[in-house]
Structure 1
Amino acid sequence: MRPFAYARAATAEDAMAEHAAARDGDDARYLGGGTNLVDLMRLGVEQPSKLVDVTRLPYDRIERDPDGTLIVGAAVTNSALAADRTVRAEFPMLARAVLSGASGQLRNLATVGGNLLQRTRCPYFQDASKPCNKRDPGSGCPARDGEHRNLAILGHSSACVATHPSDMAVALAALDASVRVRGRGGERTIMLDDLYRLPGGDPRRDTTLDRGDLIIGVAVPPLRMPAAYRKVRERASFAFALVSVAAALDVRGGVVQDARLALGGVAHRPWRARAAEDALRGAAATGEAFARAADAELAAAEPLRDNGYKVPLARNLVVRTLTELAAEAEEGA
């Protein structure tokens, strides 16, 4: 492991100042739970010149705004988020998504901010002996012709076919969550759907954040319709999604009034299924309509040699989840 400097920040201003003072500002990293960053450092994939410890910052609370918006501090652990009574009662999709990720031990340590910023990755990215455009631009993407069974079918490029691993971020995308960020110009809010970027020709950057930006929290507006998170994986626990679905559905009189849908395990970022949502609004709440909506979204899929199975898997998971939610909505009407 490469030697690095370490600083512990007491305030957001301290953290940003320590980050800016690093020998190479692009090479400094904020350290929360470290469950992804430290692993990558051990593998020699990440080699920061400085770590700025932000675990002491006062962003470890879960609160409610008067309008019902849930405010989750960036330092809240995943376990605390999933166990919170308000989250379990009013945002069960989010709790389910968090509990679907990693192991109990990792959730006890991992933070909300760190979960959002974990690297989009594949086995080639994590193997420093292999070429990878995310680590070494222009070196190639061996996953395209190599092992890619679990990798992207949407939004990928010739430069990268890695998938974003977060379950929580998929649920937050469907919940229209926003991310609160402190940066050089002060505090600003970014919609979660705008936080992430697709790989394009340069997959090194996973997010749209500027150098030194610090995530301080997440805002989740109230959701007043049935919602669910479903995840398909190769084993029962501690596995990334092959495909996951975060969905919410408002059905009245057998007609879809509103819909939210996001997919995981299929792209370089949590994939907000806007085409499917547009197809659902005003449609009859039937399996046929749900299948047409899924097909509208998956028409853009470009599977590789060995991951074409993800297209029907995603389609079937969307239809099943929406069918369950439609039945729940009608029962509660």
Structure 2
Amino acid sequence: MRTREDRPWLLYLNGGPGFPAPRVDGDEGWLRRALADYRVLLLDQRGTGRSTPLNRHTLTRLGPHLEHFRADSIVRDAELIRRALLGDEQWSVLGQSFGGYCTVAYLSIAPEGLREALITGGLPGVEADADTVYRHLYPVVAAKIAAHYEQFPGDRDQVRRIVQYLRAREVRLPGGRVLTVDAFRLLGNLLGSSTGSRQLHYLLEDPFSARQLSDAFLMRVQQELSWASTSPIYSLLHEATYAQNGVTGWSGERVRAEFPGLDFLGEMIYPWMFDNDPLLRPFRSLAHSLAQHHWPALYDLDRLRDNEVPVAAAIYAEDMYIARDLSLSTAGLIRGLRPWLTSDYGHDGLRVSNGAVLDRLLATLRE
């Protein structure tokens, strides 16, 4: 049996953009499985965690320099770390969600640093622009809503009552944010996780007290909506992760008009969020500037077509955050990539599968 010091290194790239590596207690199933074969490095991507975190006091001064906080820059950081830690030795990489985008960028920019690559719920559409991505994702959101109502039919009336109430009066969350109808619809982001439909149902179960939205309900809504504002990098750069040599121009808002009547919204960032959310309001002008920024291409398609790094990718058939058909298209473009299309898990399959997803991908590489 190899000692820990003999095991090769595995770089873990987590979701985002703008979130630090997970702070773990060692009992996570995927991590236990990884540590059986590797030493694992959890990278705080630039601007997060212990990597000089950016916040509302420092971020607005960066302006266009946020161009250097996308996947390509994270890859260059990783290469500096690899060379300092390992010299010329290669390491493996595991990319979850946005970490998968970083992994494909790694294959484009510095494949010589990789011995193998594993991707879970994060294979991007390398030939798709933001509009194309959203035209694939909005129908998935609609399907998730329909499935939720099929499982919890009473929630449809609860949603209708809440929307009517919000349209008739101004309601503020405990932190001061106005709970508009659109802000309420952002709760649909819950539907992308394995337990999200039940969480949404329990949230909607008893929202009123004495004919008013209860304080308990409003507090829980505030907690659920914090995903967009706890990391300003995420809110500012989420749409830019889809940009391919062009301008996004608030693509999520523009394409939404093609899908009217959605009771809930998914993982999209909208311009009105920077007016509605007090935590995002300081970044309003920067957000509008970045929406008109011309972003460089993230991926080298020729290099991906000639790829020699072993790659295995889990593609979740009903993923609400990553467009399945675009992932399958990319799987066909990257030479040697072995895809695993599954309906057994959702976007958080790596976290909830107790190591089974990672085990399957490692076995796929070693067949």
Same fold by TM-score, threshold 0.5 exceeded?
no
TM-score, scaled relative to structure 2 = 0.22
Higher strand share: 1
Q: Which of structures 1 and 2 has the bigger CA Rg?
A: 2
Task: Determine which structure has greater relative contact order: mean sequence separation of CA pairs < 8 Å that are 6+ residues apart, divided by chain length.
Answer: 2
TM-score, scaled relative to structure 1 = 0.24
